[in-house]
Amino acid sequence: MKLGVNIDHVATLRQARYSDSLDLPQAEPDILAAAAACERAGAHGITIHLRADRRHIQDRDVFALREALTTKLNLEMGNSAEILAIALRVRPEEVCLVPENRQEITTEGGLDAAGQFPLLQPTLEQLHAAGIRVSLFIEPALEQIDAARRLGAEMVELHTGAFANAQGQAAADELQRLKVAAEHAAGLGLQVNAGHGINYVNIREVLTVPHLAELNIGHSIVSRAVFTGLGPAVADMLTAMSAAPRP
Q: Is residue 108 scored above 80 in pLDDT?
A: no
Catalytic site residue 211? Answer: no
pLDDT value for 126: 98
Asked whether the bond before 92 is cis by omega within 30 degrees of 0, the reply is no
Catalytic annotation on 44? no
Tell me how far apart the 2 most distant CA atoms of the chain are, in Å: 51
Q: Which residue has the higher pLDDT, 102 or 204?
A: 204
Calculate what percentage of the chain has a pLDDT beyond 70: 96
Strands 94-97 vs 2-6: parallel, antiparallel or unpaired: unpaired
C-alpha–C-alpha distance, residues 83 and 50, integer Å: 7
Neighbour-count burial for 182-219, b at 16+ CB within 10 Å, e otherwise: bbbbbeeebbbbbbbbbbbebbebbbebebbebbbbbb
Q: What global pTM score does this model have?
A: 0.94
59, 161, 207, 210, 234 from 168: Cα distances, Å: 42, 15, 18, 21, 28
The confidence score (pLDDT) of residue 103 equals: 53
State residue 40 phi and psi, 5-degree precision.
-60, -30
Residue 102 has pLDDT above 70, yes or no: no
Is the per-residue pLDDT at 106 higher than 60? no
Domains and CATH numbers, the chain: 2-243 (3.20.20.70)
Active-site residue, from 39, 76, 157, 214: 76
pLDDT computed for residue 105 by the predictor: 52
CB 90 within 8 A of CB 61: no
Cα radius of gyration (the chain): 17
Q: Is the pLDDT of residue 104 over 80?
A: no
Task: Phi first, then psi: give them for residue 46, nearest 5 degrees.
Answer: -120, 130
Whether the per-residue pLDDT at 27 is higher than 60: the answer is yes
CA atoms in the 13 A half-sphere facing the CB of 99: 17
pLDDT band of residue 107 (cuts 50, 70, 90) is low
Kindly tell me if the per-residue pLDDT of 59 is higher than 70: yes
Give the closest residue to 30 by CA, choosing from 72, 62, 66, 61. 61
Contacts of 122 (CB under 8 A, 6+ apart): none
Phi and psi of 25, rounded to 5°? -60, -25
What does the pLDDT look like over 166-193, one tens digit per residue?
A: 999 999 999 999 999 999 999 999 999 9
CA atoms within 13 A of residue 146's CA, in its CB half-sphere: 5
Confidence at residue 245, expressed as pLDDT on a 0 to 100 scale: 73
* pLDDT for res 73: 98
Residue 100: pLDDT over 90 = no
Where is pLDDT greater, at 116 or 107?
Answer: 116
Whole-number average pLDDT of the chain:
95
Q: Is 139 a catalytic residue?
A: no
What average pLDDT does range 214-223 have in this prediction?
98
User: Given 196, 205, 211, 214, which residue is catalytic?
Assistant: 196
